[in-house]
Copies of this chain bind each other. A is one copy, B any other.
């Protein structure tokens, strides 16, 4: 049976401790969403499929009358996850509306084009700040002998700061009067 990458995200999210579908989605939204999102429309059907395939085992854990299922990875599921982790990555996909607008910005006057750079700059600074606020959680995982969430998080911080800096440099370059003379 062929698993989608999001099936592996689910296996990865419960590799250290069992979790419910709702908890998995919340965890994805707080961690991997920056480089791999997953929706409710995927998580619940995939949990079902993984359960039927014996890769996870669900158990009822109601709170009061609220229905709740907690899923644990099985030995077979762990093997499947490890095999997948060993394969070279295959999917890289980016959608950046800011870069798209910048690409076509020659249609506008330079002052207006610079506005796109300012929007991207603000957005990336905001993301970097949000990622920084997650550092304590990732440092906790490091203490639990798992360095990778922190490595990836710090990479995300560095990337967003690079991107914001790049936007600043490109805005300066764009509005540089000397360069404007030459491109007029």
Contact = CB atoms under 8 A, between A and B. Distances in A.
Identify the interface centre among A84, A92, A113: most chain B CB within 10 Å of its CB: A92
Given A107-B78, A148-B113, A183-B147, A92 B86 contact: no
Interface of A: 5, 8-9, 12, 15, 31-32, 34-37, 78, 81-82, 84-86, 88-108, 112-113, 115-116, 119-120, 123, 142, 145-149, 151-152, 155, 158-159, 162-163, 166, 170, 173-174, 183
A8 B94 CA distance: 17
Contact of A5 (B82, B85, B90, B100): B100
Contacts of A78: 107
A102 B152 contact: yes
A95 B36 contact: yes
B35 A100 contact: yes
A108 B105 CA distance: 45
Nearest to A153: B103
Contact of A120 (B85, B89, B142): B89
28 contacts: A5-B97, A5-B100, A8-B100, A8-B104, A12-B103, A15-B107, A31-B103, A35-B99, A35-B100, A36-B95, A36-B100, A81-B107, A85-B107, A86-B108, A86-B112, A86-B115, A88-B119, A89-B100, A90-B97, A92-B97, A93-B96, A94-B95, A99-B152, A102-B151, A103-B149, A145-B183, A147-B174, A151-B170
Nearest to A92: B96
B173 A94 contact: no
A165 to B, nearest CB: 10
Given A91-B95, A123-B92, A85 B148 contact: no
Contact of A105 (B35, B85, B98, B162): B85
